[in-house]
Amino acid sequence: MTVPPFPPDPAPPRLLVSVRDVAEAERACAAGADLVDAKDPERGALGALPVATVRALVERLAGRAVTSAVAGEPAAAQMEATVRAMAATGVDYVKVALLPGCPPALLAAAAAAAPGRLIAVLFAEDAPDAGHVPALAAAGLAGAMIDTAGKDGRRLTDLLDGPHLSAFTAACRVHGLLSGLAGSLRVSDIAGLARHAPGYLGFRGGLCRDGDRRRALDGRAVAEAVRTLRALPAREAA
């Protein structure tokens, strides 16, 4: 698919930080994260936390940051119910894995379970491209992210090149979707990935102690990422 020219968002990307509990949510919020994302790092790339934990997290933050929660990688038959249950926590956005070949009707039903709040997560290993985006918009999704499925040392930039990422985020803007890039990112990746004009850059392991996504979130690392993003120049809109 050839993506038509589209002016970039003039603002730098915002920072998404994945957290595993209320304490980490507070730490991320206090350090300046724009979006606090509930996720269980012990359960893979898109491990869902219990609904009760997400509800407590949302209540504790009380609107001080935008929130999202991973609904996991549900089977097709459970996708709508799983999304609906997570949406009922009051979280701002629900994220769900979108595997290749998902039927449009199933996608639309999942989007209807969290109206205006569902974010599709596409895995870099599946080589998602801009051609996937129109169907997501047509189904009523709010946005799309690319992440890595395997947390095996390979990073987003090892799997997809710059033109591929730029085309994806541009297609999201054309179709009115939020966009995000994630996948074992480090603070040193921010400047390079910001050139692709995503709405969000997503972090977990790169902001944890010793760079281990299963260890505690480091508030100082979150603050460093915030400072790095805030220091980026505004992009020029056409």
DSSP codes joined into one string, 102-119: --HHHHHHHHHTSTTTEE
Cα separation values, 16 from 32, 61, 68, 110, 176, Å: 10, 15, 9, 23, 19
Instruction: Specify whether 95 is catalytic.
Output: yes
Give tens-digit pLDDT for 173-182: 999 999 999 9
Could you read off the pLDDT of 9-40 as tens digits, one per residue? 557 899 999 999 999 999 999 999 999 999 99
pLDDT at 137: 97
Answer yes or no: is 3 within a domain: no
Residue 201 within a domain: yes
Which of these is catalytic: 95, 132, 175, 213? 95
Is 57 in contact with 22 (CB distance < 8 Å)?
yes
Handedness of CA 72, 77, 81, 84 (dihedral sign): positive
d(CA 64, CA 61): 5
Residue 109 lies in a domain: yes
pTM of the model: 0.92
Question: Of 20, 39, 132, 196, which one is the catalytic site residue?
Answer: 39
- Longest pairwise C-alpha distance within the chain: 45
Q: Is residue 205 included in any domain, yes or no?
A: yes
How far from 175 is each of 70, 137, 186, CA to CA, in Å? 23, 6, 29
In a domain, 214, yes or no: yes
Q: Tell me: pLDDT of 1 over 60.
A: no
Task: Identify residue 161 by its one-letter amino acid code.
Answer: D
**Beta carbons within 8 Å of 117's beta carbon, 6+ residues apart:** 87, 91, 92, 93, 94, 142
- Single-letter amino acid code for the residue at 158: D
CATH of the domain at 146: 3.20.20.70
Q: How far apart are CA 90 and CA 99, in angstroms?
A: 25
Contact assessment for residue 106 and residue 74, using Cβ atoms and an 8 Å cutoff: no
Print the domain residue range for 27. 14-230
Averaged pLDDT of the chain: 92
Say what percent of the chain tops pLDDT 90.
84
The predicted structure's pLDDT at residue 44: 84
Rg of the chain (C-alpha set): 16
Residue 235, domain member (yes or no): no
Whether 2 is covered by a domain: the verdict is no
Tell whether 145 is covered by a domain.
yes
pLDDT at res. 5:
37
Instruction: Find the range with the poorest average confidence among 71-85, 95-109, 192-206, 223-237.
Output: 223-237
pLDDT in tens, 90-148: 999 999 998 888 899 999 999 999 999 999 999 999 999 899 999 999 999 999 999 99
Say how many domains are in the chain: 1
